[in-house]
Each structure stands twice: as structure tokens, then as C-alpha cells.
Amino acid sequence: MKITFPQRFPLPLALGGLAVLVLAITFLIDAALSPAFAQGTTSKAVNPSTNAARTSTDELYCEKRKLGYWFYCTKPKPPEAEAPPSEPQASASEQLDAVTKELRELKAKAILEPTRENVIAYIRFQREQLDRASLFSDVWQRAIWQQPDLDYTLQRPVATLAKRQWQDSRNGARDHVMANLGKRYGLFYFFAQSCGACEVMSPIVKSVSNRWKLTLRAVSTDGGPSAHFPKYTVEAGQRAKMGLEPKITPALVLWDALKNRPIPIGYGILSADELQDRIYLLTSKEAGHDF
């Protein structure tokens, strides 16, 4: 007896179902052969080397196997959250300016509104800055004690005993230079009969010139005589030629006979030591070399 089955579906529909079945089987085979499926079915713990190999395999697979239904091969990474920008740190000078500004503000507020709270706030903040200044001064002093090249007092002492020794040494060097100045330099002294300061300065100038045998020429700016310099001359434009300030007396100029040039020393009343120091410095020391 021949058994027949009823044909419920037309042939085209049967062929379409077969195609879907083939595609499903192909998809399962590809997924089973992929490294991601193999790793997921064997173990959940993946070491870094396996993870790196899987990534390279996925990239190779995506390059070689471009399937329409395999629309991406790697899981997209979530966007990294951007860290908020950090505020720039204020420089040391800006911080110091802020402290000064705060101190002035507290002081002004305490003066304009002298309540107990405002005055205390100003005193407290001021005390903090005084403590900071004291600390700075202490560290400064210790650094100088331990770094002799930074200690200015070793070159120019301020303590009584050290200063006396330094002054004696310097006076010795000055006197040695002054003893030989007369061979090259002369001294011009401008005075006036009506000048009260000249009456004080004239004997000092005469004493210094006599001690170091300096040739001295006294010049009267108003034509009047001087009891200390009977052999004076009357000015005839010498001050202008030497570049001196007009009408200021007394005035002293050192004349360099070797270079034929004037060296102004100063105006007004000078002590004998100060006068000798200026002559010594202007003839023997360059600027910045006497400390």
C-alpha cells in the first residue's frame, strides 16, 4: 500500500525554509569556531596574553571575513570621562601679594570700623606675618654664618672690633697711595670771600695739601681774598672749562697732569678723612671695587 503525505506547503516556501536553515547552521558553525565563543565556553577567567591574542584574532577575522550579518567584531569601548581641569597654582610672588593685600584690607577695616573683632583680626594676621618675617630673618642669618661667600661683613665689617681693624688696614693703603699722588695730580680749590662754608673748608684743604705735598691752586670766584691762601688767583672761566656747577662754593677738583683732565671731588664742607678718602677712591679704585 502506498502512503502519501499531504503537501501542506508549496515548493517555493519549502525551498525558502531550507535556505534559512542553512544560514542558521552556517552562523552557528562560524560562532563555534571563533575564538570569542571558544573562550566563553571554556572559562570565564582570561589572562592578559589570551586577551591580546583574541584581539589580534578578531582583527584578522574582521579583515578576512566580511560577512553582512557580522556587523562588528569588537565591542566598542565606553567613552572615557574627562578629568576636570585643575586650577593653576599661584606663584610665590602672587601669594605674597595676596598676603600684603589681605593685611592692608584688615588694617583699613580696623581703622574705618574699629570694632573689637576687626582690631583683633588685624592684630592676629599681622602677628602671623611678623612670625613669618622673623623665621625668614633667622634662616637668612644662619645661611650667612655657614656660607662665608655670602657674608658682606667679611669685606666691610660692622662690628666695633672688626671695623676698627678694617679701617686701620684701609687707612694704611690710602696713605700709601696719597704719598705718591703729588707726582701726577694737583688740586684746584674754588672759594669765595663771602662764603661762610669756605672759612671752614679752607684750613682743611690747606692741611691735606701740605701733608701729601699736593700742588694747590686757590681760585677766588668773587675776587675776594682769603686769609689761608694769600697767593690766590681770580676765576677767569676755569670752572666752566672743568665742567663744574657754577656759583657753588667751596668746590674741589683734582687735576690729572698725565691725562690732562679734571676729576671733580665734591662741593661743600668735607672732613679731612672724607676728602682723603674721595681722592683715594677716585684715583685708585674702579667703581664697584671698594666694599
d(CA 197, CA 220): 14
Among 178, 176, 174, 181, residue whose Cα is nearest residue 257: 181
User: Rounded to two decimals, what is the model's pTM?
Assistant: 0.55
Between 85 and 122, residue with greater pLDDT: 122
Q: Please report the DSSP string for 33-64 in residue order.
A: HSHHHHHHHH-S---HHHHHHHHHHHHHHHHH
Cell of 91: 606663584
φ, ψ at 114 (rounded to 5°): -75, 60
Average pLDDT for 60-74 = 52
Please give the pLDDT value at position 248.
85
Cell of 232: 690766590
Which residues, in sequence order, are bridge partners of residue 252?
189, 266
Percent of the chain residues past pLDDT 90, beyond the cut: 47
Quick check: helix, strand or coil at residue 98?
A: helix
Domain boundaries, the chain: 12-64, 94-145, 162-284
Question: CA distances (Å), 167 to each of 10, 162, 171, 274, 275, in order?
Answer: 130, 9, 6, 13, 16
Question: CA distances (Å), 185 to each of 60, 191, 212, 271, in order?
Answer: 98, 20, 11, 20
Does domain 162-284 fall into CATH 3.40.30.10?
yes
Residue 186 predicted with pLDDT over 90: yes
Task: Tell me which amino acid residue 65 is.
Answer: R
Residue 271 predicted with pLDDT over 90: yes
Please give the pLDDT value at position 12.
46
Between 2 and 173, residue with greater pLDDT: 173
Q: What rounded mean pLDDT belongs to the chain?
A: 80
Quick check: helix, strand or coil at residue 205?
A: helix
Q: Where are the beta strands (DSSP E) in the chain?
A: 185-191, 215-220, 233-234, 251-256, 261-267
Percent of the chain residues past pLDDT 70, beyond the cut: 72
d(CA 120, CA 126): 10
Q: Where are the beta strands (DSSP E) in 69-127?
A: none
d(CA 99, CA 137): 18
Average pLDDT for 93-101 = 94
Among 286, 251, 253, 238, residue whose Cα is nearest residue 185: 253
Whether 256 and 263 have beta carbons less than 8 Å apart is answered as yes
Average pLDDT for 88-99 = 92
